[in-house]
Amino acid sequence: MATALSEAPATGNPSPSPHLAIEARGLVKRFDGTLAVDGVDIAVPEGAIYGILGPNGAGKTTTLRMLLGIIDPDEGVRRVLGHDRPHEISRLIGYLPEERGLYPSMKAYEAIGFMGALRGMDLNEAKARGRELLEDYGMGYAAERTIRQLSKGMAQTVQLLGTFVHRPKLVVLDEPFSGLDALNQGKLEKLIREWAEEGTTVIFSTHVIHHAERLCDSVAIIAGGKVPYAGPVDAARDRIPAQVRLETKAREGAWRSALPESARRERDFWYFPLPDSGIEPLLRALIEGEAGIQSLSIERAGLHDAFVEIAGEAAARELEASAQKQAESAR
């Protein structure tokens, strides 16, 4: 049974930070004896865009549901917006579940209004706000259409807008990009950034690395129910040294001694980690050795490389398979 953070044993940092929208430690969940989530720790600062990155079946949805109070962890502690019982503050939270669902006979603005009313808004006020959001999102023309008259992407947009209609302090999105084409994915990214600029904390799960890399301040990488890394995106990328990409006129010469033993040649280019001494000594050695530099660039590791380094090749392959499946569903 989960305990409140205030009741947790001292660990050297027992009191939750007032600047965290979400704080969870040691979350564990089993289903029919199978361990789905195994000791997840997450800390999401207020106003951040935070991604939970991992393949299908990694434990992302279960983790989000525990954070929201939809299900209780078997072990561990959590605090959301300063509360130990997150289900009691649902009016402050917007949640988009992975399983979408709208009443097909409702008009688009009515569906958004209905979702707002479920979060404590006056129904008429929520419907009016629904019309405003549809206009702002470029879908004002569809306000009077029923859900069954909308395309899959448009219906998902309606549900996304309903997630935010009551102006929550925290928005939780479970695989929000699933089923959206590239155009609507871009619109959603813009919407997420706008929410964050207004001070809303956004946490979303995804198995598409480029969404997390473009949007997130920090990520939790989850694989097999565990979180081997949680922290800033930049810190994850910095776990792998930057790579130098070098093209030279000369094929051989004294300059070759300036390259590290790990340097590898692929066609016309040399690739190797940026030396600890920096680029300047390398440049001098290449010039003095008459390498004839054609081009030289320093390429920082991407989040995909960091994911492979942290979670392993098998998890990376599962992640890519999940992303491919999502892309096919959006066609």
Task: Please spell the DSSP secondary structure of 31-63, one letter per residue.
Answer: ETTEEEEEEEEEEEETT-EEEEE--TTSSHHHH
Answer for the pair 109, 185: CB distance below 8 angstroms, yes or no.
Answer: no
The confidence band for 121, taking pLDDT boundaries of 50, 70 and 90, is very high
pLDDT at 161 > cutoff 70:
yes
Instruction: Supply the angle between the helices 182-197 and 152-164 in degrees, to the nearest 10.
Output: 10
27-79 pLDDT per residue, tens: 999 999 899 999 999 999 999 999 999 988 889 999 999 999 999 999 999 99
User: For residue 287, how many other CB atoms are within 10 A of its CB?
Assistant: 13
The confidence band for 328, taking pLDDT boundaries of 50, 70 and 90, is low
Closest to 30 in 3D by CA, of 73, 70, 60: 73
**DSSP 3-state of 266:** strand
Q: Which residue has the higher pLDDT, 329 or 138?
A: 138
User: How far from 278 is each of 238, 257, 274, 302, CA to CA, in Å?
Assistant: 15, 16, 7, 20
Structure tokens at 228: 């081997």
Output the pLDDT for position 321: 82
Instruction: Give domain limits for the chain.
Output: 243-299
User: How far from 304 is each of 41, 121, 147, 234, 312, CA to CA, in Å?
Assistant: 22, 41, 37, 12, 11
In this prediction, residues 170-188 reach a mean pLDDT of 87
Output the pLDDT for position 14: 37
Answer for the pair 296, 244: CB distance below 8 angstroms, yes or no.
Answer: yes
In this prediction, residues 305-328 reach a mean pLDDT of 83
Least confident of 62-66, 133-137, 229-233, 324-328: 324-328
pLDDT at 94 > cutoff 90:
yes
Structure tokens at 91: 């009016």
Structure tokens at 136: 């702002």
CA distance 196 to 124: 27
Output the pLDDT for position 18: 52
The confidence band for 329, taking pLDDT boundaries of 50, 70 and 90, is low
In this prediction, residues 78-93 reach a mean pLDDT of 90
| DSSP strand pairing (218-223 vs 201-206) | unpaired
260-314 pLDDT per residue, tens: 888 999 988 999 988 888 889 999 999 999 999 999 999 888 899 899 889 888 8
pLDDT at 322 > cutoff 90:
no
pLDDT at 16 > cutoff 50:
no
CA distance 85 to 252: 67
pLDDT at 83 > cutoff 50:
yes
